[in-house]
């Protein structure tokens, strides 16, 4: 008996020692399998989510959307706004030991601008040249004053990859990316997991809290949550609003919530081909009637348990450039009906195209029912994503539920959708006054003056209503209470600096 007890004790002690000696691993559940792991090529949110541990950027954003130093310690704009000089952090190394310096910055910017399938060309388009002034100083020359550049550099366009590795690996770089972030790449099992480990030579190594981080691809949000509840995962991103109650009631879990940058909106085709010839495409009064016919709060309550943010603007209230003067109008069916009557109509037909996902499907049905009460006959056309996007890009729609991920700066959102040459302006809305205001705002470095310009822009686009913004989604992460130091950022990316086990 004593012998058995002793053996049991020995085994227990062994188990404990093994447990204590085990490396601290953070297991994170992500909703999609990221695409190519190369900042120049990446086009998915989960790709950016993983890059947040792998690849540091020249600058970062703070939780309140200010630009803060990361690999660049400081920067100076030229008085005419057509050049910016960065002073780089010293003693920074890439994961392969290559030194990070001005030459590396030049290489990266040129790589993103010239790689044939680079997705960063538009973000870096105003950069006409990069000059290395010293090992720790690099100057970007711009073709026009472009204040949003810093916000662009706080995302993938500002991520630095090792020039040595990029040159050596060529097209194979995404299979094993080499950057200068707190964690370095170990392995990727396609459609399963991405493993990264602590980078001992990181410039801010004291803030690394785990020896290893593993990102698991778990597509379904309820399953992701179950796995966190069961203790198989430590953290899961994008918890569905309908599951938040479960998280709040679980004593082992903490809910991390934060306002996002994304916007979902109803876009009207006002000038692209035949589908622009419907009554709503032609008449802005009818579009105003449509806005009055829907209740954004009801959409938020019914479709998202009231957990998102009902709003009438393309940029979220967290942005310093949000217009407080333009409040969302309350639902007013009588006024909507009056506007329809003034246009000489009683029933207004319109077709609503959307990507056949759960959230958009719910929104579409609620919109259909509410707009119907005011006199709009909304026909629903749900399509599989790729087919829907093709129609969207070709302007083959009357009304479309657009979901835009948003950016730290208002320019990439407002100019893309409302600038006459904007990349997302697929409904061909063009207002010369608005174009002039948006272009001026791009070159305005003074924040107050810039805000005044965006105030004006908001006024114009909310009158024309070529798009009716409906809501901003919020970010919800569920994490076990053993994970400490999580800070939510508007871009919804988990920055791992400072994230540590609590025990």
Site string for another protein, 22-41 (x = CB under 8 A): -----------xxxxxx--x
Decide: is 190 part of the binding site for another protein (CB under 8 A): yes
Give the one residue of 49, 210, 217, 400 binding another protein; rule: CB under 8 A.
217
> Shortest Cβ distance from residue 147 to another protein (Å)?
20
Give the one residue of 389, 433, 436, 463 binding another protein; rule: CB under 8 A.
389
Looking at the DSSP bridge assignments, the partners of residue 264 are: 403, 471
The residue among 331, 353, 321 whose CA lies nearest residue 454 is 321
Secondary structure of residue 337 in the 3-state scheme: helix
Decide: is 187 part of the binding site for another protein (CB under 8 A): no
Please tell me the distance from the alpha carbon of residue 136 to that of residue 138, in angstroms, as a whole number: 7
Give the one residue of 3, 191, 324, 432 binding another protein; rule: CB under 8 A.
191
Nearer to another protein, 118 or 431 (CB): 118
Decide: is 355 part of the binding site for another protein (CB under 8 A): no
DSSP 330: P
Give the one residue of 57, 113, 197, 227 binding another protein; rule: CB under 8 A.
227
> Shortest Cβ distance from residue 44 to another protein (Å)?
7
In this structure, the strands spanning 127-134 and 137-142 are antiparallel
Decide: is 405 part of the binding site for another protein (CB under 8 A): yes
274 burial via Cβ count (<10 Å: 0-12, 13-18, 19+)? exposed
> Shortest Cβ distance from residue 273 to another protein (Å)?
17
Decide: is 131 part of the binding site for another protein (CB under 8 A): no
Decide: is 273 part of the binding site for another protein (CB under 8 A): no
- Which residues from 230-259 bind another protein, rule CB under 8 A? 230-232
Decide: is 44 part of the binding site for another protein (CB under 8 A): yes
Decide: is 15 part of the binding site for another protein (CB under 8 A): no
H or E, element range at 255: strand 253-259
Give the one residue of 62, 114, 143, 423 binding another protein; rule: CB under 8 A.
423
With beta carbons less than 8 A apart as the criterion, state whether 260 and 311 touch: no
Decide: is 384 part of the binding site for another protein (CB under 8 A): yes
The residue among 302, 307, 299 whose CA lies nearest residue 328 is 299
With beta carbons less than 8 A apart as the criterion, state whether 257 and 246 touch: no
**Cα dist. 109→127, 128, 131 in Å?**
9, 10, 11
The DSSP line for 436-479 is: HHHHHHHT---HHHHHHHHHHHHHHHHHH-SEEEEEEPEEEEEE
Decide: is 174 part of the binding site for another protein (CB under 8 A): yes
Nearer to another protein, 162 or 288 (CB): 162
The residue among 428, 495, 500 whose CA lies nearest residue 464 is 428
Contacting range for another protein; rule: CB under 8 A; set: 84-92, 101-109, 135-143, 190-198? 190-198
Interaction site with another protein (CB under 8 A): 33-38, 41, 43-44, 116-123, 171-172, 174-175, 188-193, 216-220, 222-223, 226-227, 229-232, 384-387, 389-390, 393, 404-405, 423-424
């Amino acid at each position: 008996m004593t012998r058995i007890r002793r053996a049991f004790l020995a085994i227990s002690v062994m188990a404990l020692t093994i447990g204590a000696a085990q490396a601290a691993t953070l297991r994170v559940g992500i909703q999609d399998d990221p695409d190519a792991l190369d900042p120049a090529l990446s086009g998915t949110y989960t790709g950016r989510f993983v890059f947040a541990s792998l690849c540091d950027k020249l600058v970062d954003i703070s939780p309140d959307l200010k630009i803060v130093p990361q690999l660049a310690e400081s920067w100076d704009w030229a008085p005419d706004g057509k050049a910016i000089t960065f002073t780089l952090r010293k003693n920074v190394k890439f994961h392969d030991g290559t030194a990070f310096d001005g030459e590396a910055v030049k290489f990266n910017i040129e790589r993103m601008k010239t790689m044939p399938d680079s997705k960063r060309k538009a973000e870096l388009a105003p950069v006409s040249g990069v000059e290395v002034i010293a090992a720790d100083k690099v100057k970007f020359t711009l073709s026009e004053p472009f204040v949003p550049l810093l916000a662009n550099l706080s995302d993938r366009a500002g991520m630095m990859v090792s020039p040595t590795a990029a040159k050596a690996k060529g097209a194979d770089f995404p299979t094993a990316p080499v950057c200068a972030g707190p964690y370095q790449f170990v392995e990727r099992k396609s459609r399963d997991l991405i493993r990264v480990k602590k980078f001992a030579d990181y410039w801010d190594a004291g803030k690394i809290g785990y020896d290893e981080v593993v990102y698991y691809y778990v597509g379904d949000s309820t399953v992701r949550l179950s796995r966190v509840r069961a203790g198989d995962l430590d953290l899961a991103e994008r918890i569905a609003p309908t599951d938040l109650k479960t998280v709040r009631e679980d004593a082992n879990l903490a809910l991390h919530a934060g306002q996002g940058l994304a916007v979902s909106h109803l876009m009207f085709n006002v000038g692209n081909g035949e589908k622009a010839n419907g009554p709503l495409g032609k008449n802005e009064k009818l579009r105003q009637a449509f806005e009055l016919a829907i209740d954004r709060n009801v959409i938020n309550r019914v479709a998202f348990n009231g957990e998102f943010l009902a709003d009438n603007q393309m940029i979220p209230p967290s942005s310093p450039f949000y217009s407080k003067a333009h409040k969302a109008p309350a639902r007013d069916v009588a006024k909507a009906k009056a506007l329809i009557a003034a246009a000489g109509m009683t029933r207004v037909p319109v077709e609503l195209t959307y990507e056949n996902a759960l959230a958009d499907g719910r929104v579409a049905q609620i919109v259909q029912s509410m707009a119907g009460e005011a006199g709009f006959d909304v026909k629903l056309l749900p399509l599989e994503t790729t087919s829907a996007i093709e129609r969207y890009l070709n302007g083959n729609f009357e009304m479309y539920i657009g979901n835009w991920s948003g950016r730290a700066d208002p320019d990439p959102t407002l100019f893309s959708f409302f600038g006459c040459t904007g990349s997302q302006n697929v409904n061909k809305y063009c207002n010369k006054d608005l174009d002039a205001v948006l272009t001026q705002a791009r070159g305005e470095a003074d924040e107050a003056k810039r805000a005044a310009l965006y105030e004006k822009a908001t006024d114009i686009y909310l009158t024309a209503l070529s798009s009716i913004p409906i809501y901003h989604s919020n970010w919800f992460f569920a994490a076990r209470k053993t994970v400490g130091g999580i800070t939510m950022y508007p871009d919804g990316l988990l920055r791992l600096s400072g994230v540590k086990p609590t025990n």
